[in-house]
Amino acid sequence: MSRTSKSPGKQEGITRPRRDRGETTKDLQRALQGLQEAGARVSISAVAAAVGVTPGLIHNKYPAVAEAIRLASGRTVKARLTDLQQQLQEALARNAELRKENAELLHEVRDLASVNESIRQQLAVARATATGKVVRIPTP
């Protein structure tokens, strides 16, 4: 026997079936087991579709089932957190390497700019000497 309840914001007389929490939990667990036995991809969305509920319902009202699904799919909260922490450490290490490389390249650019300016001054003197505007005085 299915109970009905009035949905807030709905028209008078329109009712929706009310789910029994215990039955829904069993349905979700059976669907999870069925997906695993069939070798299908296990996800909260897949289990929700198999039972006819929304993924949000599983996340919000059945957190234990959601965690069991994540565990079955190899994506527990703890495992995801560990993965994210590892990715963060790798990114920080890569960032440190890039900062070091950036500092080395900046130093090299400064050295090359100094050499470039020195060569530019020598070129200006050579051009002036070639045009006869500047005379080189021999050193003793």
- List the pLDDT tens digit at each of the 140 positions of the chain: 444 445 455 556 666 667 788 888 999 989 989 988 888 888 899 999 999 999 999 989 999 999 888 888 877 677 778 889 999 999 999 999 999 999 999 999 999 999 999 999 999 888 888 888 777 788 87
Structural domain boundaries in the chain = 17-75
User: What pLDDT score was predicted for residue 67?
Assistant: 87
pTM (2 d.p.): 0.45
Element (H, E) at 16: strand 15-17
pLDDT value at residue 2: 47
Q: What is the pLDDT of residue 11?
A: 55
- In the numeric block, the tokens 């050579």 are attached to 126
Helix ranges (H only) for the chain are: 21-38, 44-51, 55-61, 63-72, 77-131
Q: What residue has token string 């007389």?
A: 13
Tokens 């829904």 identify what position? 24
Q: b/e for 75-105, b at 16 or more Cβ within 10 A?
A: eeeeeeeeeeeeeeeeeeeeeeeeeeeeeee
